Amino acid sequence: MKVAVPATAANGATNASTVTATSVGSPAVSASATINTIAVGADFNTLLVDNDDNAPNVQPIYATALTTAGVKFDVWDLKTDANLPSNYMKAFRTIVWFTGNSYPGPILPYEAKLKSYLDGGGRLFINGQDLLDQAAGTTTFVRDYLHVTWDGSETQNDKRTANVNGVATSPVTGTAQPPAIGAVALDHTVLGAAFEDRITPNGGALVAFTDDSGAPDALSFSGTYRVVFLAFPLEAYGTAAQKADLVTRVMNFFAAP
């Protein structure tokens, strides 16, 4: 069966179709399924995935940052519907994914879909405190797709920092997009916690931010797909203008040849 979405369908328009199959040999045997379709507007190339479990709900902070940066986006709230369709993800060039206070392992149920999305050349901007907590940071996806080496111990976990610091050689925070980012304060009252992590980039990933000790806590990776990963929450980063600036830098990095 083929479902065709009309070219005139508005962004976000939905439709549900019921398909019933009946056995030719035993007409009394049949089964039905519902096929849901969602239209994605041609100029909506970014999907914002809310994985914060509303504890607290920081989605409005991301919506403001994206809007200020001039990004048109759709939203998928995993607390409302945990079944994020893989094909829907692939309709977007860029996914912005945040986990807020969620732990442990908030992205574990979605790693296979994220892998498939990135294998198709996607762009992923993902962040959250405690995203790597415990064994969640030791998965194949984290190692080979987020390009983070994590030992699962407390050596790198929950390392509070007052500021995050841009890196001059980073294509996101450095001189490639002047002016380079300096020290930016984190507001730990936003989430009511300070569980930033220190990371070890691997596989050609580049450090994007360091904490006050000089240890990496964010990275970028460019290959057949692109990733920017913050081991701290964007919602705690600087002012509203600084958040929008960082979003703009990430989008520029994703769009670069």
Strand-pair partners of 30: 22
Q: Write down the pTM of the prediction.
A: 0.87
**DSSP 8-class letter at 253:** H
Q: pLDDT value at position 185? A: 99
Q: pLDDT value at position 38? A: 61
Q: pLDDT value at position 39? A: 47
Q: From the DSSP assignment, how many helices (H) and strands (E) are in the chain?
A: 5, 13
Q: pLDDT value at position 12? A: 57
Q: Kindly give the pairing relationship between strand 163-166 and strand 226-230.
A: unpaired
Q: Which domains does the chain have, with CATH numbers?
A: 1-39 (no CATH), 43-255 (3.40.50.880)
Q: pLDDT value at position 33? A: 46
The one-letter code for the residue type at 147 is H
The answer to whether 216 touches 232, Cβ cutoff 8 Å, is no
All residue ranges of the chain with pLDDT < 50 are: 1, 17, 33, 39
Distance CA 120, CA 115 (A): 9
Strand-pair partners of 20: 32
- Using DSSP's 3-state secondary structure scheme, residue 226 falls into strand
Q: pLDDT value at position 6? A: 60
Q: What is the tens place of the pLDDT at every residue in 79-129?
A: 999 999 999 999 999 999 999 999 899 999 999 999 999 999 999 999 999
Give all strands (DSSP E) within the chain, no chain letters: 14-22, 30-38, 46-50, 73-77, 94-98, 123-127, 148-149, 163-166, 183-185, 200-201, 206-210, 216-222, 226-230
Distance CA 95, CA 98 (A): 10
Q: pLDDT value at position 177? A: 98
